[in-house]
Amino acid sequence: MENHSGFEISCHGGTGAIDATPVNGIPPYTFAWTGSNSYSATTEDISGPAGTYICLVTDSVGDTISKHIILHQPAALTATLIPSDFNGFSISIHGNDDGEINTEVGGGATPYSYAWSNSATASSIKDLTVGSYSVTITDQNGCTINKNTTITEPTSLSITSLTVSHTISCNKGKDGEAQYIILLNEQNKELRKQIEQIKK
């Protein structure tokens, strides 16, 4: 049987091979395999999914021997991508490049390797701008999983209204008043700030 980082089956849900090699007795031999899920076969060598298998070998004079074999498989390879979080956005301020994506990987066979859409090869990536990112994660046995996520940003700072509440009394005077509202769309909340008494 093959060994894939301690497992007879390389990837979860795959198949493994069992080679039967009779020793002694008088050939020819016959083989009777049984296994999980009503598995049966009469060939010398078999392949099948994870589970328990029993092989009964009979030689030409009727002598028999049986062997009990278990094919093990790794747990399913899983991955979660976790973008940075600035109150609901992946980037702190519109236009910044401070986004990050971290990974949480389980199952399969360690260690893991990473191939990101931006050519990075680390388990996490930083200094990201808004956009979509994907990664292919490969375990020690060559099993892979693909994941993708999006880096988001708040909308840009905008002035929603501007009104003059008191006109200037004379040319180049400084006794005018203006009132306006600035809408700050940063960090997943809309902050309205009233600014008054702006001297011109």
Walk me through the domains of the chain, giving residue ranges and CATH numbers: 16-71 (no CATH), 78-151 (2.60.40), 158-195 (no CATH)
pLDDT in tens, 78-124: 999 999 999 999 999 999 999 999 999 999 999 999 999 999 999 99
Longest dimension (CA), the chain: 123
Strands 144-151 and 39-41 turn out to be: unpaired
| pLDDT at 42 exceeding the cut of 60 | yes
The residue written with tokens 């076969």 in the block is 41
pLDDT in tens, 57-83: 999 999 999 999 999 999 999 999 999
Percent of the chain predicted with pLDDT > 70? 78
- Reference 91, options 134, 128, 132; nearest CA is 128
Alpha carbons 5 and 12: distance in angstroms, whole number: 13
Tokens of 191: 């902050």
Mean confidence (pLDDT) of the chain: 86
pLDDT in tens, 7-30: 999 999 999 999 999 999 999 999
Whether the predicted model's global pTM rises above the 0.85 cut: no
Percent of the chain predicted with pLDDT > 90? 73
Q: What's the rounded mean pLDDT across residues 35-62?
A: 95
Tokens of 125: 């990536």
| pLDDT at 154 exceeding the cut of 60 | yes
